Structure 1
Amino acid sequence: MTIKEAQEAVDQWIKTYGVRYFSELTNMACLTEEVGELARVIARKYGDQSFKEGEKANVGEEIADIMWVLICLANQTGTDITEELQKSFEKKTKRDVKRHLDNPKLKA
């Protein structure tokens, strides 16, 4: 599935099952909540915390939930994620063409 197809699929799902999009502010709060859920799983799986009884290492599920809400926000604001991601690659490549290669902290 391409990003464009994902944006279209989320939009169709919202129109079919979701009644309407939540407000942008509500979706921003939902995004924050989903990022927190991913942080919890990462802290338990890769950090020093342990899982509580019944918790799972569902990193992929949490990332997908974040993407869902990001796509909702993009659709609501008329943002073409593919186009914006391409611009971001161009910006980062131009800005960081040597930055990371020359960073002694990143040397093996």
Structure 2
Amino acid sequence: MELKEAQKIVDDWIHEHGVRYFSELTNMAILSEEVGELARVIARQYGDQSVKEGETLNAEEEMADILWVLICLANQTGVDLTAAFNKSLAKKTKRDKLRHKYNPKLK
């Protein structure tokens, strides 16, 4: 699935089940919240924090939630995520194609 198709699926879902999009500002706050939830999972799974009693860790769910809200924001602001991602990939390839290969910190 291309991101453009995912954007249509989310848009269709919003109009069928969600009544309307939350405001862009609300979705930005939700995105921040979801990133924080992923950070909590990563801190407990790969960092020094321990898991609290009764707490479940689900990085997959948190990443999907982040993607969902990001797609909502893209739809609301007219961003074609497929085109934007391809542009970003080209930029990074041009800028960094040798940079990481010769980084002694990565050896």
Shorter chain as denominator, the TM-score bin is over 0.9
Q: What are the equivalent positions in structure 2 for 1:27-106 lying under 5 Å apart?
A: 27-106=27-106
The share of aligned pairs that are identical, in percent, is: 72
Deviation of 1:99 after TM superposition, in Å, equals 0.6
* C-alpha RMSD of the superposition: 0.8
Give the TM-score normalised by the residue count of structure 1: 0.96
Q: Distance in 1 between matches of 2:27 and 2:54?
A: 27
1-side partners of 2:54 and 2:80: how far apart? 38
Q: Report runs of 4+ in structure 1 exceeding 2 Å deviation.
A: none
Unaligned runs of 5+ in 2: none
| Displacement of 1:88 | 0.4
Q: Distance in 1 between matches of 2:59 and 2:38?
A: 6
Report the secondary structure of 1:48's partner residue. coil
| Distance in 2 of aligned mates of 1:19 and 1:57 | 30
Q: What count of residue pairs does the alignment treat as equivalent? A: 107
